[in-house]
Amino acid sequence: MTSPRDLATLLTIMRELRTPGTGCPWDLEQTFETIAPYTIEEAYEVVDAIERGDLADLRDELGDLLLQVVFHARIAEEAGHFSFTDVVEAIVSKMIRRHPHVFGDAQDLEPAQVKALWGSIKVEEKALRAATRAAAGLAPELEAKGLLGGIPTTLPGLTRAVKLQAKASTVGFDWNDARLVLAKIEEEAQEIRAAMDAGASKAEVAGEVGDLLFAVANLARHVDADPEAALRSTNAKFERRFAYIEASLETAGRAMGEASLEEMDALWNEAKSTEG
């Protein structure tokens, strides 16, 4: 086996893990579909390491994410579709193609011009893919039509909401003041209250909650905040303060179930005050 620092070693390890008879039973039974959730999980763990500022962990998590790429590529190679080398070649070609202002003749562009150029190149790539598929006798790529087409449905809900809203805003379907979005949030909250008061079904109330979350994502976009990152930050804050409640009660020799809501709320406020 080559140097453990060599990418070829990782490819060799994955090939051996997937070798029938001598490989790992678990790895051998995996498919694109079964490891897809792990791929998403590893991407989130990369983000988590970044947000915690843990560079040692980031190194490890990037390795885990790279393993996912190698895993998918190996499954594809076994089926005769493409190899890891093809994956690398595809992204190298794409990066060079999409950066003519670095690797080509389009020099000294402003950021807005770069963004516009990137968009036009992506349109050209899409047309080329369609022509290539047609020449090979393949069916056209299935995709949603219209302005909002092409936004993956597998994105986290808040992230996809922001992308949908941003696309719609390009044709003027948008508020021009974040305060108007805030008013929409208040309106949606009132609609939830009205649905609950009217004895609406769970599905109807859930629909109203969805509208509220969509409006909150819109507010985040208007104030230039990533709603997913903001929610992750709040989740971490909740965990810290709840841990304070647990530790305080444990110090007092009491179990969580023995404390009243008022007592826990008071400890919550203590935790809050210690954060400054």
* Same fold yes or no, 7-135 and 157-225: yes
CATH among 1.10.580.10, 1.10.10.10, 1.10.287.1080, 1.10.1750.10 for 7-135: 1.10.287.1080
How does pLDDT run along the chain (276 residues), one tens digit per residue? 445 678 999 999 999 999 999 999 999 999 999 999 999 999 999 999 998 899 999 999 999 999 999 999 999 999 999 999 999 999 999 999 888 888 888 777 788 888 788 778 878 877 787 787 777 777 776 555 688 887 888 889 999 999 999 999 999 999 999 999 999 999 999 999 999 999 999 999 999 999 999 999 999 999 999 999 999 999 999 999 999 999 999 999 999 889 999 999 999 999 999 986
Superfamily of domain 157-225: MazG-like (1.10.287.1080)
Domain boundaries, the chain: 7-135, 157-225, 229-274
23's CB contacts (< 8 A; 6+ apart) are: 16, 17
